[in-house]
Amino acid sequence: MSKGNVLVVGSNATRIEIQGGGTGPTGQYLNELVVPVMALLAAGYDITFATPDGTKPFIDPVSDQTVHFDNDEAAHKRAQDFFANDRAMNSVKTLRAVLDGGLDQYVAFFTPGGQAPVVDLMQDPELGEILRHFHAHKKPSAFLCHGPIASISAMQHAREFRAALIAGDTPKAAKLAQGWPYAGYRMTVYSSSEEKPIEDNILHGKLYFHMPEALTTAGGVVDVGPDFAPHVVEDRELITGQNPRSDHQIGKALVAALSRVSVDA
């Protein structure tokens, strides 16, 4: 028998804005999505997978490499097969359908990274409604790598906040952030120094804003560890992981948080 249903939300973005105009390629990271999801399934939880438009996320080719699976070719192949073929990855709902179906059925929330959430999830009003429910009911909510930026959607003026960041108007962004449910929470996210190789070698341009600065402006207490080393921060119901190397750790932390909730219940 299932221990409960975990809502996993992915992005549909394939391009991200860069300074000076134009865009660069983006997507979700394969290991960041499948490693925690496989851990949840192995622990006895069901998965509901959703994206804004109800189609599967685009996997960033940069992430579809054995290096992200500790150079274990078998683990990489299992991840590819899981994403391509497992029912949990192929029964994708829209966020609207998730809301219409009722949020009380979900025991936890998870969003992976890759830069894609910076484009759509960060400013999605339906995701904001979902996250405000999880926050109000203190349900474990996990975000990995760039994923924590999706928590901005819980802001009443998320789109305007993002626009202010792109315009470089930090005071305006801070004012728009007032009332953000996660203000004062300790959290981690992909660091500015970790972002630089992607900007230099993949985007060939700079992002309009980096994740730690955006979350700090929103009112988060950002704690980043060493570059590309596993790092997970937990504060109340919020669980955040810094980078792709934190994939196993955030899966374990979310399963442990769910176990604690079950015991308390």
pLDDT recorded at residue 1: 87
d(C-alpha 164, C-alpha 167), whole Å: 5
pLDDT recorded at residue 179: 97
Residues in the chain where the model's pLDDT stays below 70: 263-265
Neighbours of 205 (CB within 10 A): 17
pLDDT recorded at residue 201: 94
125 Cβ contact partners less than 8 Å away, ≥ 6 residues apart: 153, 158, 159
pLDDT recorded at residue 53: 98
Buried b / exposed e across 64-91, counting CB within 10 Å, b at 16+? beeebbeeeeebbeebeebbeebebbee
* CATH superfamily name and code, 5-264: Class I glutamine amidotransferase (GATase) domain (3.40.50.880)
Coil, strand, or helix at residue 2? Answer: coil
Instruction: Kindly state the tokens that stand for 195.
Output: 């972002």
Percent of the chain residues past pLDDT 90, beyond the cut = 98
Instruction: Kindly state the tokens that stand for 248.
Output: 């196993």
Q: Using alpha carbons only, give the angle 63, 67, 71 rounded to the nearest 5 degrees.
A: 140
pLDDT recorded at residue 262: 72
Domain extents in the chain: 5-264
Exposed, middle or buried by CB within 10 Å (0-12, 13-18, 19+), for 104?
exposed
Q: What string of H, E and C letters represents the secondary structure of 19-88?
A: CCCCEEECCECHHHHHHHHHHHHHCCCEEEEEECCCCCCCECHHHCCHHHHCCCHHHHHHHHHHHHHCHH
- Is the whole-model pTM more than 0.95? yes
